[in-house]
């Protein structure tokens, strides 16, 4: 598609071997090498780099992450030959950062229209804002999940940068953000005012310790997202030495891969960005190799999607009704017999149903169902209900 090709520089083939071995991912990917551009109508996942970090607050440069990750990723074994993958190359950055944001939003908007999942390699995390703008162009109200040690809300009077991108999204008018969730925040890095604002807006924040103590319970949170923004700084420095804001604490490499696989499995999730990887600070390519494995796990999850999205076919799910005497109402839970995943239905006013039809079925866990059976109202249900009020 010529419209898309204009936005990209071809992939530099000199970083690859002359020929990929049979079974390697690189042997089955459609590359933009300049002469032929991949046809987006025939692909399911589009990988591209965005070498943009001019709005970063870090002294480390994350601009060239994509080219650092590619050799590791394409050398991995392809266990999902039925997933059509293309590498569109690196986005041409604009004269200004805003020009780059506009280009990213336009590219992602086109891919979303074609039901292609963009897998973006930044660059700094403020590119999440550009990714959000693509959904705004499509008129789609979404949920954002950020895997991050901080909230990146910033102050209202601050200039826009990679630690304040969420602020700009929250205060856009009209607004297409239904819910924001953070996974893995470290409390000593987050201001009390930011935590209070998250609660006031009925957003979700999951502390690092809480997430690591029960990683399976993070799955419903991830499954509820349309857009995943992964800050590599959420991973501890021993596993990820080349992040923009390294810390001794954080997720380990296995946790990061598990999160990405949960994201791939989600029928709802439609775009992913991996940010804040700084190749010049890497140690033996460890961080680039980890990012490559995270991408592998995302695609592995994508290849294992079950097609049990309740918004498409709720009748295929098992329904369980729990009477809550304290609230004098019933909560309907749904379980997929295919994947054994759970959802709960939140009452949505008729006048808002068409606007929020993608959000009234909330992913949950069996534990939420068990709590409801004990007359404990699930937090996920309550927070969503408050947004409908």
DSSP per-residue codes, 81-139: TTS-EEEEEEEPPPSSHHHHHHHHHHHHHHHHHTT-EEEEEES-TTHHHHHHHHHHHHT
Q: How far apart are the first and last CA of the chain?
A: 44
Torsion sign (Cα): 297, 298, 304, 310: positive
What's the pLDDT score for residue 311? 83
Query: What mean pLDDT is predicted for residues 282-306?
Result: 97
b/e map 216-234, b = 16+ CB within 10 Å = ebbbbbbbbbbbbbbbbbb
What's the pLDDT score for residue 159? 73
> Is it the case that residue 313 has pLDDT exceeding 80?
yes
What's the pLDDT score for residue 208? 98
pLDDT digits (tens, 9 = 90+) for 275-290: 999 999 999 999 999 9
What's the pLDDT score for residue 1? 57
3 state SS of 79: coil
pLDDT digits (tens, 9 = 90+) for 34-89: 889 999 999 999 999 999 999 999 989 999 999 999 999 999 999 999 999 999 99
What's the pLDDT score for residue 135? 98
The verdict on whether omega for the bond into residue 123 sits within 30 degrees of 0, i.e. cis, is yes
Q: Which of 100-109, 135-144, 150-159 has the lowest mean pLDDT?
A: 150-159
CA distance 43 to 3: 16
> Is it the case that residue 4 has pLDDT exceeding 90?
yes
pTM here?
A: 0.96
Highest mean pLDDT among 156-165, 238-247, 346-355: 238-247
Query: What mean pLDDT is predicted for residues 80-104?
Result: 97
Residue ranges and CATH numbers for the domains of the chain are 2-303 (3.40.800.10), 310-388 (no CATH)
Question: What percent of the chain stands above pLDDT 70?
Answer: 98
What's the pLDDT score for residue 2? 67
What's the pLDDT score for residue 295? 98
On average, the pLDDT of the chain sits at 94
> Is it the case that residue 186 has pLDDT exceeding 80?
yes
CA distance 240 to 251: 10
Among 337, 272, 345, 263, which residue's Cα sits nearest to residue 304?
263
Query: What mean pLDDT is predicted for residues 209-236?
Result: 97
Among 206, 255, 223, which residue's Cα sits nearest to residue 379?
206
Q: Which of 2-16, 205-219, 267-281, 339-353 has the lowest mean pLDDT?
A: 339-353
pLDDT digits (tens, 9 = 90+) for 120-154: 999 999 999 999 999 999 999 999 999 999 998 87
What's the pLDDT score for residue 329? 79
**How far is residue 41 CA from its own chain's centroid?**
22
* Number of alpha helices (DSSP H) and beta strands (DSSP E) in the chain: 14, 14
Per-residue confidence band for 349, with pLDDT thresholds at 50, 70 and 90:
confident
pLDDT digits (tens, 9 = 90+) for 316-329: 999 999 998 766 67
* Number of residues that make up the chain: 389
> Is it the case that residue 106 has pLDDT exceeding 60?
yes
The helix (run of H) or strand (run of E) holding residue 299 is: helix 286-303
> Is it the case that residue 357 has pLDDT exceeding 60?
yes
Query: What mean pLDDT is predicted for residues 287-296?
Result: 98
Q: Which of 67-71, 123-127, 197-201, 221-225 has the lowest mean pLDDT?
A: 197-201
């Amino acid at each position: 598609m010529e419209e898309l090709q204009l936005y990209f520089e071809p992939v530099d083939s000199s970083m690859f071997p002359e020929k990929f071995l049979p079974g390697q991912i690189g042997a089955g990917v459609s590359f933009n090498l300049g002469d032929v551009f991949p046809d987006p109508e025939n692909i399911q996942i589009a990988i591209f780099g965005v070498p943009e970090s001019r709005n970063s607050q870090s002294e480390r440069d994350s601009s060239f992450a994509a080219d650092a990750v590619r050799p590791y990723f394409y050398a991995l074994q392809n266990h999902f030959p039925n997933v059509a993958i293309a590498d569109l190359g690196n986005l041409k950055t604009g004269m200004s950062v805003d020009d780059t944001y506009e280009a990213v939003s336009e590219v992602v908007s086109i891919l979303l229209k074609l039901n292609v999942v963009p897998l973006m390699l930044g660059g700094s995390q403020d590119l999440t804002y550009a990714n959000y703008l693509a959904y705004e162009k499509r008129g789609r109200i979404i949920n954002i999940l950020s895997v991050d040690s901080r909230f990146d809300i910033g102050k209202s009077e601050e200039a826009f940068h990679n630690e304040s991108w969420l602020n700009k999204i929250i205060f856009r008018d009209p607004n297409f953000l239904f819910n924001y969730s953070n996974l893995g925040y470290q409390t000593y890095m987050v201001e009390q005012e930011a935590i209070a604002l998250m609660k006031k807006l009925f957003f979700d924040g999951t502390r690092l310790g809480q997430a690591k103590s029960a990683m399976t319970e993070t799955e419903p949170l991830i499954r509820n997202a349309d857009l995943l923004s992964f800050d590599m700084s959420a991973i501890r420095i021993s596993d990820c030495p080349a992040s923009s804001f390294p810390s001794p604490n954080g997720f380990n490499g296995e946790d990061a891969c598990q999160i990405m696989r949960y994201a791939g499995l989600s029928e709802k999730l439609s775009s992913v960005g991996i940010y804040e990887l700084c190749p010049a600070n890497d140690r033996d390519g460890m961080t680039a190799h980890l990012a490559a494995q995270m991408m592998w796990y995302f695609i592995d999850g994508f290849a294992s999607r079950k097609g049990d999205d309740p918004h498409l076919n709720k009748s295929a799910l098992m329904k369980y009704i729990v009477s809550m005497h304290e609230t004098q109402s019933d909560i309907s839970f749904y379980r997929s017999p295919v994947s054994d995943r759970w959802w709960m239905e939140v009452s949505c006013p008729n006048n808002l149903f068409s606007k929020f039809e993608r959000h009234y079925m909330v992913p949950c866990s069996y534990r939420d169902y068990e709590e409801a059976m004990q007359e404990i109202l699930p937090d996920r249900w309550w927070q969503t209900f408050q947004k409908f009020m």
